[in-house]
């Protein structure tokens, strides 16, 4: 087992290194740089000399090798460096947004679990009935509806309905306050994006619950239990559901990792100051250091979530370790 | 699994085996797979609209008409007009073309490249497999938006480049799935036998291994079409995709639609519905296809 | 000028009230927090080095500047005030080469220390001759400055190399924050992340990407101001969020500008609770053909591109959906140097009859050997308002003379790189945006590419450069105007180097309770908020 874990851990290194090379090169292939962005705004009259001064300050006049070594060496020491755009430490910039992204991800996950497991179970038990069809249609719709559009529709719906009922339109707050400071304010802001992303999320989890449960229900031990005359309820709860949970937990874990770095479009729609918005802005500003750091954070979260899932599987099923 | 995948091609859902009168078979199928049939129905309608867009659409989707800006749905403009006075319905119908082209082309290229790479990786194994797996890991974990932005910035915006951006993340995902099914086949005696007989690699891969991973391949393709349409919409919404004046659903949701959602809700509602319905249709169809192709999930 | 004040009757009433502040019926009320929205995420707090309005909107209120436009008359292009001075903006002495400012001695920084001429010298030294490792984005505006000296604590002297009408407008640029010398001496980069000025408000908190808060400066040197207890700005780039925030009362005002349709929607939703201020904007959206590429090296083709554009019609329609409105030439419409409508309508592309224009366009294209259905690429910036909206309109205009246009849209960074460095475009969207209206300098956009850094058409036309120099050397407004007409005809008609489309139009719909603020022709100006108050 330890051998397996060590082997898997070692394999993480080339993945991270590959991602680092990829993001480093891609960013430098995009035409334009941060000094163009910063000084070419409408309010400046800038000559080449000033641009060069700017490039020297930002450190992008150095050779590619030096820049890459700086980047990797920083990453190895867990030092993410300084954002080129704001001059603030990147750990501070990310820290500011992390809380919000984490909370939305947790809220979406909770709602996904609460919705998906009962729905998926009912759907599997009542396979090929109208209940099953309804649940399946509902969950496929969740995957089909773009969550950013759902967000637009939610905001629109809120404005129109509150206008209709109370005469004054109401929209969710656009300024983040931590939940311990002002729970009402916090929830009334984050509930809506959590719904918009949670629907998709629960749809994915519902489908996974249904299909793994269906497989498990055909396994021998379930048949044995049935043959023994155990109550269907007991079979489902004690035996089937427990064994079907593993892939479901996997999906939930991977979706969670995805949400931490992937709320790019939904955060735009709700103006959430989260990691996704930071990401878009960093790319937009040609902020190399910040974009690199964000990519590495997202990739690391993703890789390690996968790693944990794999190790978990290997721990449960020894055959995997040797394959 | 082998038998099934070799004898039942994906088309079976629309054209079931002979012997019974086709209407009866169709009816049977609808009863067995009502959701899949509904999905197929949606897909067929969409393909029809896309192919015959120039006959079906009541207006030119590109011509600006400043006399009729922001008209709510009425008898002439069934789904209203946008800020340039263009008919929303016509743009939706032409938009189906863009969606289908992007969806099918990127799904096909992505899944096929994944198929080839996945099978070779499984077949050759060893160092090639190890390195290939790491490269796939990188692309799986890499944020799509950076890839898309890089592609767009280097090659420019437009449908072709959007397809490249969408295809890249599909390749590793299909390769993964194909590789794992191919791995199980590699150990099967007849592949060993073929090797022992001295057949060359290409022949073994093409003749023996590829046909046996057709099931996951077809399932991936149908899943990818829906996902590609969604991705196209999201990337276009972020300004990285299709550009005006090309009619495209994601483009219709961007800018004006969101800004004027309150006073002209038809601009925001209908393109979103079109995207959802199309992806919904492809997913229903894909699910049914998987049920048919994957015997483990077939109803008892 | 009339145009600027249209739809501003309410705002004017407010301003009159400010003028007679004591005993007037509309006396300013004190207190309240002004909530506003900023469609940007500012790079840093250092005005000297940044060029975006994203630094002005949140930070202007914390600093004093030496000269600024009159906040009660921001529409004027010549009405400057020196707040820190004893008396008015000084007149030049020494044959127009010396400006001596007398500084008041009752101005205090927020930390209690006194603001003296030494601080002003240190700040302008940093702008005009930045020390190594310090970035100054507006150094090039001060090429005429020879030396800056502060003989005593209340006197600051600027000596110029040659007399220049561009000096005072350059000093009046809103980015020239006055910093404290002692802090600059310690660390030239102090002001990038910290705020310590002498403006009407004192800095409280800045959370990047989220919000910034300020509170009233009780020791502000203009007695009685500011009226507000504080300010709270939210950063939100997305236009739809901006509109919804005003509608839902999460913010009272946004100082950049809204599209016309949003104004109408807000007016419908909020009725009396909304006041709208509008003004021409000192920004023109233009089309720049690449005169090194075939067939755009042919003046006839470029003129045909211009003739195909229905500017008068577009002004009517586009002003309903985009932040553009006024038809104009190279000079800010309404400025004395600008062409009148009659003068404008003589230039091809500005003719009143669009049918005649399009026929002429087709004829020119045919004559130049451009086939029907000729396809080219239009390079545009990935920003909705007004770039992409106007881009869609332009493509439709060119379609009507038989040109097929494909659009290549790029995010701002690559867009700039293509336009300015790589220059690999057929025809590109371009713009000329300035803060202080100063046509003599603003039209440098149209000079030969090797002369002006902001000219992107890649042409060399010494005749244009010569006219520009002559115009700037002339002190006679009548002669200036005459040369300007010739300059305009040369650039827009004979050579058609660049094609202005429509001038931007600034629309600020805000909650009616926000009083005292008046719109200006630039979103960089009049943002220290000292005279703003809330009627609640």
Q: What is the pLDDT of residue C7?
A: 37
Determine if the peptide bond prior to C386 is cis (ω within 30°).
Answer: yes
CB C381 within 8 A of CB C410: yes
Burial of A72 from C-beta contacts in 10 A (0-12 / 13-18 / 19+):
middle
Name the domain boundary from A43, A76, A109. A76
What are the start-end ranges of the H helices in chain B?
Answer: 2-7, 22-32, 34-51, 53-56, 88-124, 126-141, 144-155, 159-186, 189-196, 201-203, 214-237, 249-253, 256-259, 265-293
A155 and A212 part of one domain: yes
Label residue B13 by pLDDT band (50, 70, 90).
very low
Task: Collect all residues of chain C within an 8 Å Cβ-Cβ radius of residue A277.
Answer: 209
Nearest to C158 by CA among C126, C121, C207, C115: C121
Label residue B83 by pLDDT band (50, 70, 90).
confident
**Does the structure show a pLDDT above 60 at C431?**
yes
- Report the residue of C137, C236, C454 to disrupt the A interface, i.e. the one with the largest count of A CBs within 10 Å: C137
Taking only the tens place, the pLDDT of each residue in B250-279 is: 899 887 777 788 788 899 899 999 999 999
Q: What is the pLDDT of residue B111?
A: 92
Taking only the tens place, the pLDDT of each residue in A293-306 is: 999 988 888 888 88
Is the backbone of residue C40 left (phi > 0), alpha (psi -120 to 50) or beta? beta
Label residue B20 by pLDDT band (50, 70, 90).
low
The secondary structure of residue C28, as a DSSP letter, is P
| Cβ–Cβ gap C313/B63 under 8 Å | no
Whole-angstrom CA distances from C49 to A43, A62, C235 are 11, 22, 20
Exposure class string for C63-73: b at 16+ Cβ within 10 A, else e: bbbbbbbebbe
Q: What is the pLDDT of residue A201?
A: 87
- Distance in Å, alpha carbon of A181 to nearest chain B alpha carbon: 32
Q: What is the pLDDT of residue C306?
A: 94
Task: Collect all residues of chain C within an 8 Å Cβ-Cβ radius of residue B244.
Answer: 388, 391-392, 395, 407, 409
CB B250 within 8 A of CB B274: no
Cα(B215)–Cα(B289) distance, integer angstroms: 9
Classify domain B35-60+74-298 at the CATH topology level: MetI-like fold (1.10.3720)
- Distance in Å, alpha carbon of C71 to nearest chain A alpha carbon: 20
Query: Is A6 within a domain?
Result: yes
A302 and A170 part of one domain: yes
Q: Residues C19-35: what's their mean pLDDT? A: 67
Kindly state the percentage of chain C with pLDDT values over 70: 95
Residues of chain B numbered 234-263 and touching chain C (CB < 8 Å): 239, 243-245, 254-256, 258-263
Domains in chain C: ranges and CATH = 33-252+513-534 (3.40.190.10), 280-505 (3.10.105.10)
- Least confident range from C53-67, C148-162, C239-253: namely C239-253
| Cβ–Cβ gap B263/C261 under 8 Å | yes
A67 and A170 part of one domain: no
Q: Residues C278-295: what's their mean pLDDT? A: 92
β-bridge partners, B23: none
The secondary structure of residue C109, as a DSSP letter, is -
Whole-angstrom CA distances from C298 to A37, B162, C76, C291, C379 are 32, 34, 40, 8, 19
Q: What is the pLDDT of residue C196?
A: 95
Map C141-191 to HEC letters. HHCCEEEEEEEECCEEEEEECCCCCCHHHHHCCCCCCCCCHHHHHHCCCHH
Task: Collect all residues of chain C within an 8 Å Cβ-Cβ radius of residue A88.
Answer: 193, 208
Query: Is A85 within a domain?
Result: no
Q: Residues B50-70: what's their mean pLDDT? A: 87
Query: Is A70 within a domain?
Result: yes
| Cβ–Cβ gap B277/A136 under 8 Å | no
Nearest to A213 by CA among B36, B297, B33: B297
The secondary structure of residue B209, as a DSSP letter, is I
Query: Is A104 within a domain?
Result: yes
Taking only the tens place, the pLDDT of each residue in A98-146 is: 888 889 989 999 988 888 888 998 998 888 888 988 998 999 999 899 8
Domain limits for position A119: 95-322
Chain A's closest residue to B262, CA to CA, is A156
Task: Collect all residues of chain A within an 8 Å Cβ-Cβ radius of residue C50.
Answer: 38, 41, 43
Most confident of A307-321, C362-376, C412-426, C434-448: C362-376
| Cβ–Cβ gap B272/A145 under 8 Å | yes
| Cβ–Cβ gap C209/A273 under 8 Å | yes
Nearest to C288 by CA among C458, C493, C467: C458
| Cβ–Cβ gap B256/C382 under 8 Å | no
Task: Collect all residues of chain A within an 8 Å Cβ-Cβ radius of residue C248.
Answer: 159, 169-171
| Cβ–Cβ gap B142/A19 under 8 Å | yes
Tokens coding C510: 């805000």
Q: Which of B152, B158, B244 sits opposite C391 (nearest CB)?
A: B244
A72 and A120 part of one domain: no
C421 to chain A, any CB pair closer than 8 A? The answer is: yes
| Cβ–Cβ gap A152/B265 under 8 Å | no
Q: Residues C49-74: what's their mean pLDDT? A: 90
Q: Residues C495-509: what's their mean pLDDT? A: 93
The secondary structure of residue C433, as a DSSP letter, is E
Taking only the tens place, the pLDDT of each residue in C464-497 is: 999 998 887 776 788 889 999 999 999 999 999 9
CATH of the domain at A158: 1.10.3720.10
Whole-angstrom CA distances from B47 to A274, B44, B97, B99 are 39, 5, 8, 10
Q: Which of A30, A141, A156 sits opposite B154 (nearest CB)?
A: A30
Q: Residues C423-450: what's their mean pLDDT? A: 87
Name the domain boundary from A48, A76, A104. A76
Query: Is A99 within a domain?
Result: yes
- Least confident range from A165-169, B10-14, C130-134: namely B10-14
A15 and A111 part of one domain: no
**Does the structure show a pLDDT above 60 at B144?**
yes
Task: Collect all residues of chain A within an 8 Å Cβ-Cβ radius of residue C44.
Answer: 86-87
Q: Which of B62, B153, B244 sits opposite C410 (nearest CB)?
A: B153
CB C518 within 8 A of CB C75: yes
A120 and A149 part of one domain: yes
Nearest to B158 by CA among B219, B225, B101, B74: B101
Cα(C196)–Cα(C181) distance, integer angstroms: 11
Length of chain A: 323
- Cα torsion C83, C86, C88, C94 to 10°: value is -120
Please provide residue C268's backbone torsions phi and psi, each rounded to the nearest 5 degrees: -65, -40
**Does the structure show a pLDDT above 50 at B225?**
yes
Q: What is the pLDDT of residue A322?
A: 55
Label residue B222 by pLDDT band (50, 70, 90).
confident
> Cβ atoms within 10 A of the Cβ of C227, count?
22
Q: Which residue has the tokens 């509170």?
A: C215
CA atoms within a 13 Å half-sphere pointing along the CA-CB vector of C425: 32
- The per-residue DSSP string of C298-366 comes to SHHHHHHHHHT--HHHHHHHHTTTSSB-----SS-TTSTTSPPHHHHTTSTT--S-HHHHHHHHHHHHH
The secondary structure of residue C69, as a DSSP letter, is E
- Distance in Å, alpha carbon of C11 to nearest chain A alpha carbon: 25
Q: What is the pLDDT of residue A163?
A: 81
Q: Residues B209-224: what's their mean pLDDT? A: 83
Chain B's closest residue to A260, CA to CA, is B143
Label residue A261 by pLDDT band (50, 70, 90).
low
Query: Is A142 within a domain?
Result: yes
**Does the structure show a pLDDT above 60 at B36?**
yes
Nearest to C76 by CA among C433, C253, C431, C336: C336
| Cβ–Cβ gap C414/B158 under 8 Å | no
Which of the two residues, C121 and B289, has the higher pLDDT score? C121
Q: Which of B141, B253, B284 sits opposite A149 (nearest CB)?
A: B253
Q: Which residue has the tokens 């805000």?
A: C510
Cα(C171)–Cα(C157) distance, integer angstroms: 13
Cα(B139)–Cα(C82) distance, integer angstroms: 59
**Does the structure show a pLDDT above 90 at A2?**
no
pLDDT averaged over every residue in chain B: 81
Taking only the tens place, the pLDDT of each residue in C86-96 is: 888 888 888 88
Q: What is the pLDDT of residue C257?
A: 92
Q: What is the pLDDT of residue C191?
A: 93
| Cβ–Cβ gap A15/B138 under 8 Å | yes
Cα(C456)–Cα(C422) distance, integer angstroms: 11
What are the start-end ranges of the H helices in chain A?
Answer: 2-29, 34-39, 48-58, 64-76, 90-125, 130-144, 147-166, 183-217, 220-227, 232-234, 241-262, 264-270, 275-284, 288-316, 319-322
Q: What is the pLDDT of residue A317?
A: 67
Q: Which of B70, B152, B261 sits opposite C240 (nearest CB)?
A: B261
The secondary structure of residue C513, as a DSSP letter, is T
Taking only the tens place, the pLDDT of each residue in C379-428 is: 999 888 889 999 999 999 999 999 999 888 888 888 888 888 878 899 99
C245 alpha-carbon distance from chain centroid: 24
Cα(C158)–Cα(C152) distance, integer angstroms: 14
Task: Collect all residues of chain A within an 8 Å Cβ-Cβ radius of residue C207.
Answer: 96, 273
Cα(A1)–Cα(C158) distance, integer angstroms: 77
Query: Is A159 within a domain?
Result: yes
Q: What is the pLDDT of residue C135?
A: 87
Taking only the tens place, the pLDDT of each residue in A174-187 is: 788 888 888 888 89
- Report the residue of B66, B235, B247, B261 to disrupt the C interface, i.e. the one with the largest count of C CBs within 10 Å: B66
Greatest CA separation for chain A: 86
Taking only the tens place, the pLDDT of each residue in C184-222 is: 999 999 999 899 999 999 999 998 888 999 999 999 998
| Cβ–Cβ gap B269/A153 under 8 Å | yes
Task: Collect all residues of chain B within an 8 Å Cβ-Cβ radius of residue A127.
Answer: 299
Q: Residues A207-218: what's their mean pLDDT? A: 83
Q: Which of A33, A45, A170 sits opposite C140 (nearest CB)?
A: A45
Q: What is the pLDDT of residue C290?
A: 94
Task: Collect all residues of chain A within an 8 Å Cβ-Cβ radius of residue C52.
Answer: 38, 41-43
Q: Which residues of C touch B (CB under 8 A)?
A: 238-240, 243, 247, 259, 261-262, 264-265, 268-269, 313, 316-317, 320-321, 380, 382, 384, 388-389, 391-393, 395-396, 399, 406-411, 413-414
Chain A's closest residue to C129, CA to CA, is A50
Burial of B299 from C-beta contacts in 10 A (0-12 / 13-18 / 19+):
exposed
Most confident of A39-53, B138-152, B160-174: B160-174
**Does the structure show a pLDDT above 50 at C13?**
no
Task: Collect all residues of chain B within an 8 Å Cβ-Cβ radius of residue C240.
Answer: 258-259, 261
Element housing C500 (H / E):
strand C499-511
Name the domain boundary from A44, A76, A108. A76
Q: What is the pLDDT of residue B183?
A: 79
Taking only the tens place, the pLDDT of each residue in C127-138 is: 999 998 888 888
**Does the structure show a pLDDT above 80 at C107?**
yes
Chain C's closest residue to A85, CA to CA, is C43
The bridge status of strand C374-381 relative to strand C427-433 is parallel
Which chains form contacts with chain A, at 3 or more CB pairs under 8 Å? B, C
**Does the structure show a pLDDT above 70 at C17?**
no
> Cβ atoms within 10 A of the Cβ of C35, count?
21
Q: What is the pLDDT of residue A169?
A: 76
Q: What is the pLDDT of residue A321?
A: 57
Query: Is A90 within a domain?
Result: no
Taking only the tens place, the pLDDT of each residue in A228-240 is: 777 777 777 767 7
The tally of domains found in chain A comes to 2
> Cβ atoms within 10 A of the Cβ of C367, count?
12
* pTM, to two decimals: 0.85
ipTM value? 0.83
- Report the residue of A131, A137, A140 to disrupt the B interface, i.e. the one with the largest count of B CBs within 10 Å: A140
Q: What is the pLDDT of residue A45?
A: 64
Give residue limits of the domains in chain B: 35-60+74-298
Chain A's closest residue to B290, CA to CA, is A211
Q: What is the pLDDT of residue C1?
A: 40
- Distance in Å, alpha carbon of A254 to nearest chain C alpha carbon: 28
Label residue C507 by pLDDT band (50, 70, 90).
very high
Q: What is the pLDDT of residue C437?
A: 83
Kindly state the percentage of chain A with pLDDT values over 70: 95
Q: Which of A15, A145, A291 sits opposite B137 (nearest CB)?
A: A15
Cα(B83)–Cα(C260) distance, integer angstroms: 12
Length of chain C: 536
Q: Residues A83-97: what's their mean pLDDT? A: 88
- Distance in Å, alpha carbon of A298 to nearest chain C alpha carbon: 20
CB C529 within 8 A of CB C200: yes
Chain B's closest residue to A268, CA to CA, is B238
């Amino acid at each position: 087992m330890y051998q397996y874990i060590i082997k898997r851990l070692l394999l993480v290194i080339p993945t991270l290194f590959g991602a680092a090379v990829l993001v480093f090169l891609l960013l430098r292939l995009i035409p334009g740089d941060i000094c163009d962005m910063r000084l070419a705004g409408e309010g400046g009259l800038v000559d080449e000399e000033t641009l060069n001064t700017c490039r020297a300050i930002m450190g992008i006049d150095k050779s590619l090798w030096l820049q890459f070594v700086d980047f990797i060496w920083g990453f190895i020491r867990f030092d993410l460096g300084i954002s080129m755009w704001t001059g603030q430490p990147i750990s501070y910039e990310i820290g500011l947004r992390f809380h919000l992204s984490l909370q939305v991800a947790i809220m979406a996950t909770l709602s996904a679990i609460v919705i998906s497991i009962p729905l998926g179970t009912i759907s599997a038990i009542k396979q090929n009935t109208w209940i099953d069809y309804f649940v399946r249609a509902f969950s496929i719709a969740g995957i089909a509806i773009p969550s950013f559009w759902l967000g637009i529709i939610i905001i629109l719906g809120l404005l129109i309905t509150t206008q209709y009922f109370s005469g004054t339109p109401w929209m969710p707050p656009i300024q983040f306050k931590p939940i311990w400071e002002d729970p009402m304010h916090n929830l009334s802001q984050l509930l809506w994006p959590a719904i918009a992303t949670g629907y998709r999320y629960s749809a994915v989890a519902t489908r996974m619950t249904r299909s793994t449960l269906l497989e498990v229900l055909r396994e021998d031990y379930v048949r044995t239990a049935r043959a023994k005359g155990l109550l269907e309820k007991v079979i489902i709860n004690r035996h089937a559901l427990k064994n079907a949970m593993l892939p479901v937990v996997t999906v939930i874990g991977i979706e969670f990792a995805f949400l931490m770095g992937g709320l790019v479009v939904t955060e735009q729609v709700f103006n959430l100051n989260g990691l996704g918005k930071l990401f878009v802005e960093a790319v937009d500003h040609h902020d190399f250091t910040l974009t690199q750091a964000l990519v590495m954070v997202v990739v690391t979260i993703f890789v390690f979530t996968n790693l944990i899932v794999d190790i978990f599987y290997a721990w449960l099923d020894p055959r995997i370790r040797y394959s | 699994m082998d038998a099934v995948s070799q004898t039942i091609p994906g088309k079976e859902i629309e054209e079931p085996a002979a012997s019974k009168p086709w209407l009866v078979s169709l009816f049977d199928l609808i009863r067995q797979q009502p959701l899949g049939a509904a999905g197929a129905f949606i897909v067929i309608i969409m393909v029809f609209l896309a192919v015959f867009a120039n006959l079906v659409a009541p207006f030119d989707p590109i011509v600006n008409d400043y006399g009729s800006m922001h008209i709510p749905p009425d008898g002439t403009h069934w789904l209203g007009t946008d800020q340039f006075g263009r008919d929303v319905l016509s743009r939706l119908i032409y938009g189906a073309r863009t969606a289908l082209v992007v969806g099918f082309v990127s799904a096909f290229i992505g899944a096929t490249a994944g198929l080839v790479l996945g099978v070779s990786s499984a077949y050759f194994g060893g160092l090639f497999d190890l390195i290939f797996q790491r490269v796939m890991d990188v692309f799986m974990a890499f944020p799509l938006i950076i890839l898309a932005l890089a592609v767009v910035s280097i090659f420019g915006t437009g449908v072709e480049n959007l397809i490249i951006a969408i295809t890249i993340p599909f390749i590793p995902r299909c390769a993964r799935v194909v590789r794992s099914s191919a791995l199980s086949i590699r150990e099967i005696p007849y592949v060993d036998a073929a090797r022992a007989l001295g057949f060359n690699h290409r022949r073994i891969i093409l003749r023996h291994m590829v046909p046996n991973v057709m099931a996951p391949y077809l399932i991936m393709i149908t899943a990818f079409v829906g996902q590609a349409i969604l991705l196209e919409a999201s990337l276009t919404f972020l300004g990285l995709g299709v550009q005006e004046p090309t009619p495209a659903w994601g483009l219709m949701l961007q800018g004006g639609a969101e800004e004027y959602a309150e006073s002209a809700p038809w601009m925001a509602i209908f393109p979103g519905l079109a995207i959802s319905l199309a992806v919904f249709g492809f997913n229903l169809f894909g699910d049914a296809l998987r049920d048919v192709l994957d015997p483990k999930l077939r109803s008892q | 000028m009339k145009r600027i004040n249209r739809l501003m009757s309410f705002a004017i009433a407010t301003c009159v009230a400010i003028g007679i502040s004591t005993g007037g019926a509309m006396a300013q009320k004190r207190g309240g927090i002004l909530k506003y929205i900023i469609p940007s995420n500012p790079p840093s707090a250092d005005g000297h080095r940044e060029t975006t309005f994203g630094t002005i909107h949140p930070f202007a209120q914390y600093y004093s500047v030496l000269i600024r436009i009159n906040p009660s008359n921001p529409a004027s292009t010549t009405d400057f005030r020196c707040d820190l001075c004893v008396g008015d903006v000084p007149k030049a002495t020494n044959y127009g080469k010396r400006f001596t400012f007398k500084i008041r001695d009752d101005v205090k920084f927020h930390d209690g220390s006194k603001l003296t001429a030494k601080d002003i010298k240190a700040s302008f030294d940093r702008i005009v001759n930045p020390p190594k490792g310090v970035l100054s984005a507006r150094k090039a505006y001060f090429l005429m400055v020879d030396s800056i000296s502060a003989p005593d604590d209340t006197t600051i002297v600027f000596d110029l190399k040659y007399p220049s009408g561009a000096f005072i407008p350059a000093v009046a640029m809103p980015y020239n924050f006055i910093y404290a010398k002692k802090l600059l001496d310690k660390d030239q980069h102090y002001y990038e992340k910290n705020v310590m000025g002498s403006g009407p408000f004192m800095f409280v908190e800045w959370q990047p990407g989220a919000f910034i808060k300020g509170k009233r400066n009780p020791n502000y040197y203009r007695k009685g101001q500011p009226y507000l207890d504080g300010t709270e700005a939210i950063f939100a780039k997305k236009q739809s969020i901006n509109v919804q925030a005003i509608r839902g009362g999460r913010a009272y005002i946004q100082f950049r500008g809204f599209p016309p349709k949003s104004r109408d929607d807000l007016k419908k939703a909020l009725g009396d609770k909304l006041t709208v201020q509008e003004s021409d904007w000192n920004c023109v959206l233009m089309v720049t053909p690449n005169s090194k590429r075939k067939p755009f090296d042919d003046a006839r083709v470029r003129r045909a591109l211009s003739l195909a554009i229905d500017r008068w019609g577009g002004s009517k329609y586009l002003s309903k959906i985009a932040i553009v409105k006024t038809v104009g030439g190279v000079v800010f419409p309404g400025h004395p140097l600008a062409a009148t409508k009659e003068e404008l309508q003589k230039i091809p592309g500005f003719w009143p009859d669009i049918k005649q224009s399009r026929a002429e366009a087709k004829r020119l294209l045919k004559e130049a050997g451009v086939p029907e259905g000729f396809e080219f690429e239009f390079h545009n910036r990935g920003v909705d308002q007004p770039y992409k909206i106007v881009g869609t309109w332009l493509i439709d205009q060119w379609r009507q003379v038989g040109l097929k246009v494909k659009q290549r849209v790029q995010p701002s960074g690559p867009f700039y790189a293509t336009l300015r460095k790589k220059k690999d475009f057929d025809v590109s969207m371009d713009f000329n945006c300035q803060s202080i209206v100063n046509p003599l300098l603003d039209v440098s956009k149209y000079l030969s590419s090797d002369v002006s850094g902001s000219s992107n058409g890649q042409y060399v036309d010494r005749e244009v450069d010569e006219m520009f120099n002559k115009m700037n050397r002339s002190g006679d407004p009548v002669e200036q105007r005459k040369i300007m007409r010739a300059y305009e005809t040369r650039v827009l008609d004979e050579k058609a180097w660049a094609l202005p489309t429509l001038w931007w139009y600034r629309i600020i719909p805000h909650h009616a309770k926000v009083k005292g603020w008046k719109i200006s022709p630039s979103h960089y100006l009049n943002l220290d908020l000292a005279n703003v108050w809330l009627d609640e």
